[in-house]
Structure 1
Amino acid sequence: SSVGRADRMALGSLAVAGVSAVVFTAAMMLLQGHPDGAFLFAAVYVALFCLVLFPPYLGWALRTAGLEWTSVLTPVKDVLPPTLGMAGPVLALHAAGSWAWPASPWILAPVEVLTGAAVYLLLSRRQLRYYLREGFRGFLPQAEGEVADAGRTPTPSDPP
Structure 2
Amino acid sequence: MYLDRLHIALVEDDEDDRMFFKDAIDEIQMKTNLLLFGNGQEFLDHILLPGQSLPHLVFLDLNMPIKNGIECLEELRAQERFKNLSIAIYSTSSSDQDIEDTFIKGANIYINKPNDFNKLKSVISEVLKINWQYHTSNLSRENFLLRV
Bigger helix fraction:
1
Q: TM-score, normalised by structure 1?
A: 0.27
Q: TM-score, normalised by structure 2?
A: 0.28
Greater C-alpha radius of gyration: 1
